Structure 1
């Protein structure tokens, strides 16, 4: 890996480290350093934007909006498919750069994440072409529903799945006819820059997609409080979401917020135990840096000993190490600050009486041992607060009623996973769980046609399929009188 003032070269892939505003690369007077979590190597010096760059990006988006919003749906869809083609053409580049930048598994980026990035563009391009509502009649008057582009959108994305979660927002916003200012997380900014190159090669008009990089404290509020920004979509922490909401309120800018989770994974005695254990161990995916992860294992009392034995056996076999190695199961955590946070949660829990069945400690570098804590209480910090690392807790329940009470017993409501062999029970329990998504005998199965979002402190709003267009558009109803009929009163 080599560095130049305006470039990072990662595994032979050149990444421009400047902003992308109005179809041009723009430098800043200051930079911040991007470091790989794999080995601590410096990847590049990234342009560090301020309110000045934020304002320029919003101005570029505003200037491009009239042309893009009037572009026929078929042409917008064609360009989005061209962006998807570009993603697929550069899939290997995107995979190795993102793995190096955020530490997630290279095999996952190659076979799951980057193909999903391309699919995000294709799905919303195709959905756009069939978006519509049948006209309906009211006393002879015709009602016609339309989805009008809203305007420039500020999209603020996290570091744990940088490009996939960015394009989950960018693709529907562009499909809807909006222009975009994308602000990626400062801990993993590189693939967003590559996306700007890919969009330009697909002949997305200048100013339709803009990229500004920097710290949220220096650039975020300049975006979210800007009067020309008409939609804000954010994925990240609850405290940051509160600040965004406060800055957006003056302009009554609509928000979509996908926030933290403390999701339960319920295992009933009638479950397929091998499946349940597999589901539980899957929660260590991406070193536990997954907002949807079922980090609270709730296991029915009669099977807890056998479940724990099998879980420990399977989890202990996971290989932790360099995520570029195809045999690695768990890579590093993203940043020293995040590792400190994870270890702080665990050490406080142990001091309060929790028992580490496995893990409970740091390893060399930014690696944290996969951890399972037992002897925890429902009101304890480790059960109530999001850790965002490879740390699970285990509690038991006596019956269905207690299972639901424990599952719903936090401030969050993003997701829930349920393992049971009784489909009637699955229906009963699922109906009572507070969650935006419930998985029964499976995990992380997501279709873009489905609504996605959280309840309680896990978020505001839903995106996906028609819900995305409802958010990124001003939905309008036009009522037309019958020919020759007038209403004067």
Structure 2
């Protein structure tokens, strides 16, 4: 172990930045603390404008060579990174659980395999990325995807490595170089990703990782004139600041922001399935942007639905996420726990009633909560809590269900539980959402567009949509004649 290395369950992690193929220290550090029990994991290099400038310069220097790298070679290197991830799934899972408190079993079985899949998917999609030539009055049109340049990728703490690689993989596949800034509450697996990419043979400067606070290093990245793409996942207020800093250089943005998604339960639904879908919204201690936190139930079945929901919810086991039997772990930070409880206490003051929960527990754990007697215009219905807190409202008919569902400033996702396929089609067509799930939840395919409407985001990524964002699209038009004879 060195002064720049920390250890989590036997896994050594370098706490410095990764810039231009080298580890770079900073004068200052910040403390990384595990939400599981408050253990200090280590001191992390705290970057600022100087580190941001160095990382962008490294990405800019590496860009011409990486952009000119043939597609097949870029794809090969992305598959090599995926191989490296798969070899270290257990290590990555252990470290990420310690860093963000999500379930170890989920990291092992789902999240880290998805990290590898992110690289494999976009590597394979790159090789088949094509648009058929077409003619205009005898002229041939040829569409191409040209690498755009250095990309700043700013990622959240609720699924750190998976959401980082959801951005890193398509950006690299597109031929862009990358500066990745992970959330300061969960920096560790991004550092391990830098090691894995280097071991896979990714050229120096193609992937850079910098750590620190948004106001210190994030702003320096998003306002840099040499950054040609910015992708951000996080809160609406932060997105506004990023958009303002990017505006002088007209840097294209992809923003995946908050949600206040509805779950619509109609009387003809399978109520056991609907209750299971509602309980699933407590996944990751409610720290999921897509979570359907507003449960809207047809009045005639509200009492029965609530009974089934409570029967299932009270059986959830909350505790140490490293335990295989745990269903709900801690919330990420004391500040987040205080924010969650503030929402709930203000809801109580406004007349809400807790069906279950409604209070913090020991440490950074918040009891799974369902609130009823809430008004549509109340804060608890309108604002994203980002914790294990659901609200329940009733509706009389489809029109009211849709009105309530669409009655916030968000539009990230929606879930519909119904036994009538015609109703499912009719209702889903009226919902303002980037994704609608019918009788299911969180089924995600990387070839589908992903993003939000209204204040839930700008743009779509996934499949060809990712390449559309990370590239400059070019149309080359060739005349049918005018060629000289070179015979």
What interval of TM-score do these two structures reach, taking the shorter chain for normalisation? over 0.9
Alpha carbons 1:4, 1:44 under 8 Å: kept: no
1:214-253 alignment, distance < 5 Å: 214-253=212-251
Q: Which piece of structure 1 moves more, 132-141 or 13-22?
A: 132-141
**Aligned with residue 392 of structure 2, among 391, 394, 397:** 394
1:221-370 alignment, distance < 5 Å: 221-370=219-368
1:332-370 CA distance string (max 9 Å, x none):
000000000000000000111100010000000000000
1: CA distance between counterparts of 2:18 and 2:483?
Answer: 53
User: Paired residue for 1:63?
Assistant: 61
1:180-204 CA distance string (max 9 Å, x none):
0000000000000000000000000
Please report how far the alpha carbon of residue 4 of structure 1 lies from its aligned counterpart in structure 2 after TM superposition.
5.4
1: CA distance between counterparts of 2:82 and 2:75?
Answer: 11
User: Paired residue for 1:146?
Assistant: 144
Please report how far the alpha carbon of residue 8 of structure 1 lies from its aligned counterpart in structure 2 after TM superposition.
1.3
1: CA distance between counterparts of 2:451 and 2:171?
Answer: 17
- 1:448 is the counterpart of 2:446: yes
1: CA distance between counterparts of 2:76 and 2:213?
Answer: 34
User: Paired residue for 1:197?
Assistant: 195
- 1:435 is the counterpart of 2:420: no
User: Paired residue for 1:171?
Assistant: 169
2: CA distance between counterparts of 1:270 and 1:4?
Answer: 62
2: CA distance between counterparts of 1:51 and 1:159?
Answer: 22
SS of alignment partner, residue 319 of structure 2: coil
2: CA distance between counterparts of 1:192 and 1:141?
Answer: 47
Alpha carbons 1:413, 1:435 under 8 Å: kept: yes
1: CA distance between counterparts of 2:28 and 2:126?
Answer: 40
SS of alignment partner, residue 328 of structure 1: coil
2: CA distance between counterparts of 1:135 and 1:312?
Answer: 57
1:369-398 CA distance string (max 9 Å, x none):
000000000000000000000000000000
Cα-Cα RMSD: 0.8
Q: Identify unmatched segments of 5+ residues in structure 1.
A: none
2: CA distance between counterparts of 1:43 and 1:483?
Answer: 68
User: Paired residue for 1:40?
Assistant: 38
1: CA distance between counterparts of 2:37 and 2:335?
Answer: 15
2: CA distance between counterparts of 1:316 and 1:131?
Answer: 48
SS of alignment partner, residue 430 of structure 1: helix
Please report how far the alpha carbon of residue 485 of structure 1 lies from its aligned counterpart in structure 2 after TM superposition.
6.6
SS of alignment partner, residue 232 of structure 2: strand
User: Paired residue for 2:133?
Assistant: 135
User: Paired residue for 2:372?
Assistant: 374
2: CA distance between counterparts of 1:368 and 1:171?
Answer: 34
2: CA distance between counterparts of 1:188 and 1:224?
Answer: 20
**Aligned with residue 405 of structure 1, among 403, 406, 413:** 403
Alpha carbons 1:97, 1:190 under 8 Å: kept: yes
2: CA distance between counterparts of 1:126 and 1:198?
Answer: 20
Please report how far the alpha carbon of residue 138 of structure 1 lies from its aligned counterpart in structure 2 after TM superposition.
1.0
2: CA distance between counterparts of 1:126 and 1:425?
Answer: 37
TM-score by length of 1: 0.98
Residues paired across the two proteins, number: 484
What stretches of structure 1 move > 4 A for 4+ residues in a row? Answer: none
2: CA distance between counterparts of 1:142 and 1:339?
Answer: 59
2: CA distance between counterparts of 1:200 and 1:277?
Answer: 46
User: Paired residue for 1:125?
Assistant: 123
Alpha carbons 1:286, 1:330 under 8 Å: kept: yes
SS of alignment partner, residue 58 of structure 1: helix
2: CA distance between counterparts of 1:250 and 1:4?
Answer: 42
**Aligned with residue 72 of structure 1, among 62, 66, 70:** 70
User: Paired residue for 1:54?
Assistant: 52
SS of alignment partner, residue 358 of structure 2: coil
Alpha carbons 1:5, 1:45 under 8 Å: kept: no
TM-score by length of 2: 0.99
1:441-472 CA distance string (max 9 Å, x none):
00000000000000000000000000000000
**Aligned with residue 22 of structure 1, among 17, 20, 45:** 20
Please report how far the alpha carbon of residue 414 of structure 1 lies from its aligned counterpart in structure 2 after TM superposition.
0.1
1:390-441 CA distance string (max 9 Å, x none):
0000000000000000000000000000000000000000000000000000
Please report how far the alpha carbon of residue 482 of structure 1 lies from its aligned counterpart in structure 2 after TM superposition.
1.3
2: CA distance between counterparts of 1:18 and 1:445?
Answer: 36
